[in-house]
Structure 1
Amino acid sequence: MVFKTTKDDGIVQPSITKDIKKTLDDIKKDDKHIDKISDPYENKQISKDKTTAFADITYNVSQTSLKDDSRDNIKSHLKDLRDNHNVQTELTGTGMTSTEVGGNSELVGIIVAL
């Protein structure tokens, strides 16, 4: 996850720090498949200009076992942070997009293999 503010040193302002930490705690609390979420403040995952912070989520299930509910939980909490606390957010990483088995790309792969 990426958190960004437009103000210089904005990501380390006490109110923003509190809001981000609470959001991360709430995300973890609401998803039994999350093993841990890195704290960008403790792990120094903050840009030099202090406008951007990064947090990693570690799941206790494989990416293919990850349900849309987990992604929806994260998106809901991040939406609240964006809408009510003026922090831009982005989801990154392979587990943050739905993986569908089948579909057109798989069909093309099967046809090419034949």
Structure 2
Amino acid sequence: MGVGSTAHAAAGGDGDGKGPCPHACPPGRPGPPGPTQPTQIVRTPHMLTPGLNTGSATCPAGTVITGGGLVTPLGGNNLTVQVYESFPSAENAWTVSFNNPAGTTGTYTVYAVCIPVTPAT
């Protein structure tokens, strides 16, 4: 397809009277407004223990989770982390579970990426 046919298809009509609109379809209804507040990244520190570690980060009221993960001091020099789970455990929370086989102590951080909820109109 050439550029002309792509632009014509984007207009919604094929001009032959057989498509959804004989010439060009009118615009649809506007969708809800987008978020008016910026994305927030919530960081929740947890104590790192030898063996299994499980922690969560929770988004503030009025926001929902869109992603998350963790940051650990483990890595390199044979200090590896074995992640078992990293998932949205609720509409507003991210949970991770991982193994610390090296027995290293300190802290790790679970983070949640949160966006504001847009009220339905």
Q: TM over 0.5, yes or no? A: no
User: Which one has a bigger Cα radius of gyration?
Assistant: 2
Choose between structure 1 and 2: higher helix proportion. 1
Choose between structure 1 and 2: higher strand proportion. 2
Q: TM class, shorter-chain normalised?
A: under 0.3
Query: What's the TM-score, normalizing by structure 1?
Result: 0.23
Query: What's the TM-score, normalizing by structure 2?
Result: 0.22
